[in-house]
Amino acid sequence: MDGTRPLADADDGFAAALAARLPEGRIGRPDPGHLEEPRGRWQGRGGVLARPATTEEVARIVRTCAEARVPVVPYGGGTGLVGGQIAQEGMLPVILSLDRLKAIREVDPRENVMIAEAGAVLADIQTAAREANRLFPLSLASEGTARIGGLLATNAGGINTLRYGNARALCLGLEAVLPDGSIWHGLTRLRKDNTGYDLRDLLIGAEGTLGVITAAALTLHPRPAGEGTALMAVRDPAAALDLLALARDRMAEGISAFELMHRQGFDFLAETLPDSRQPWPEPPEWCVLIEVGLSRGLDPAEALQDLFAAAHEPGLVTDGIVAQSEAQRADFWAVRERIPEANRLIGAVSSHDISVPLSAIPEFIARAGPALARIDSFRINCFGHAGDGNLHYNVFPMPGRTRADHEHQREAIKRCVHDLVHALGGSVSAEHGVGRLKVADLERYGDPAKLAALRAIKAALDPAGIMNPGAVLRAP
C-alpha cells in the first residue's frame, strides 16, 4: 500500500489521540486488503490502521493502546494461512502495519549477519544476501510479499528447513516492542550468550501475542559453489525415506530440499493449469524433488546421477531426471510451486499442515486414506517437505462434486487427520502457526503443562491482553 486512508470520522477520540502522538499520515483507516486473508475464510475487523516508520513510533502506538486497553493486531505481509492477522471479534483493534519499517540496515559477509527491519520483504532480503555473495536460505512460495517480521513471528519453515532450519534457526537477535510499549534492544550478533531466559525464542513463534518484532539480526550462509536438482520416481513413501537416508550418507548436509509429491498433484495441474510443463508423460504414483548444494570441486549433477544409480539397484527409484540446465531446474521447481495454486482452483474440503516423525510418514499415509474413506469418497493430494516430516495433506471432492457438498463433514475430516497425527507423535501445525484457526486444536492436543505455561507467560507479559487477542490462545 502506498498511502494511508485518512480518518473519516474526526470525532474518533482514540484515533485522534493516537494520531497526535505521531507524525502526520501515520494513522488512518484500514483498506479491505488488511481485513482479508489469502484463502478467504475470514473477514476481519479493524477500526484504525497504524503505519509507523520507526521503532520508536511503534512503541508510542503500543504504549497508547496499552493505556486505553485497545487491542493491537500486528500486520506483516498478510500471507498467513491460519488467521493470525485477522481479528473478527471483540473491540475494534489497531491494525499495526510494519510495511514502512523495511530497511536493511546492515549486511556483514564476514560475520554472516544481516540486520533487517520487520517490514523487509523476504525476496529483498534474499537479494541483499546474494549481492554480498551470501545466502539467506529461508524460501517459500509467498517470499515476494511475506515480510521477515511475520515470518519470524510465525517461525516459518519452507523448502530448505531440512538443511538450514526454520526461521528460528536463522535469527540471532531481535529488536521488539513489548506489550507495555517498552523497546527491547536485543539485536545481538552473538552466537553464544547464556544470560538468562531467551526472549528471542519466546517472541519467535508467538504470532504477535507477546510483542511486536521491529527488526532482526539474521544469519547468513556461504553460497553453495554448485547446485543441482533432480526428480526421482520412488516406489512408495517408505522408499522415499530410504532414498533420503542414502542421499545423506553420500552427500551429508549437502541435501537442501527433499520434497515428496503424489500423482494427484500432477493430475490437478493437468486439470487446472494445462500450460504447466509436466516432467513425465505419465506421472509416477510417488516422486521426490531433490535439491543439493555442494562445495567447490564437486559436481552436483554427477552426484545426483550416482545417487540414482545407487538407489535404482535395490529398487528404491524406478525413474529419474537430473536437471541439465538452470531452465530445467526452474521447470522442476515450478511444478512443485504450482501445486498449491492448482489445489486452490480445485477447492479443498479440508487442508492440513501437519508433521510426524520421519519414520511415521509411511504409516500416516497408509492409515489416513482408509480412515477418511469411512467418512466419504475423496481425492487426497499429499505433498510437502518430507525431509523434515512436514506434509500438506489436503482433502478434495471427487469429480462432479464441490467442497460445498462436504461442508457438513469438514470438522469430522479434520478430526480424523489430526487424531491420527497426534497418535503418531506429530503436530497439527507444522509451519503455518496456530493463529485463530487452530486455537481449539492446540487446546485439544496440547500438553496441559505447556498450555498452562503459555497462559502464564501471556498473562505476565501482556496483563491487559491487548496483543493480538484470540491468536494462539483463546481470549479470556
Give the pLDDT of residue 11.
42
> Chain centroid to CA 457: how far?
24
Long-range contacts of 309-312 (CB under 8 A, 24+ apart): 310/246, 310/250, 311/232, 311/242, 311/243, 311/246
Cell numbers representing residue 263 in the block: 500423482
What DSSP string runs through 305-368?
HHHHHHHHTTTSEEEEEE--SHHHHHHHHHHHHHHHHHHHHH--SB--EEE--GGGHHHHHHHH
Residue 389 vs residues 83, 358, 416: alpha-carbon distances, Å: 23, 5, 19
| Distance linking the first and last C-alpha atoms of the chain | 33
Return d(Cα 262, Cα 275) in angstroms, integer: 19
**Are 279 and 321 within 8 A, CB to CB?**
yes
Q: What is the average pLDDT score of the chain?
A: 93
Q: What is the pLDDT of residues 226-285, one digit of tens each?
A: 999 999 999 999 999 999 999 999 999 899 999 999 999 999 999 999 998 899 999 999
Give the pLDDT of residue 122.
97
pTM: 0.92
Q: For the chain, 476 residues long, give each residue's pLDDT as a single digit of tens.
A: 455 655 444 347 889 889 999 999 999 988 888 888 877 777 787 789 999 999 999 999 999 999 999 999 999 988 888 887 888 777 889 999 999 999 999 999 999 999 999 999 999 999 999 999 999 999 998 899 999 999 999 999 989 999 999 999 999 999 999 999 999 999 999 999 999 999 999 999 999 999 999 999 999 999 999 999 999 999 999 999 999 999 999 999 899 999 999 999 999 999 999 998 899 999 999 999 999 999 998 999 999 999 999 999 999 999 999 999 999 999 999 999 999 999 999 999 999 999 999 999 999 999 999 999 999 999 999 999 999 999 999 999 999 999 999 999 999 999 999 999 999 999 999 988 999 989 999 999 999 999 999 999 999 999 999 999 999 999 88
Q: What is the pLDDT of residues 375-400, one digit of tens each?
A: 999 999 999 999 999 999 999 999 99
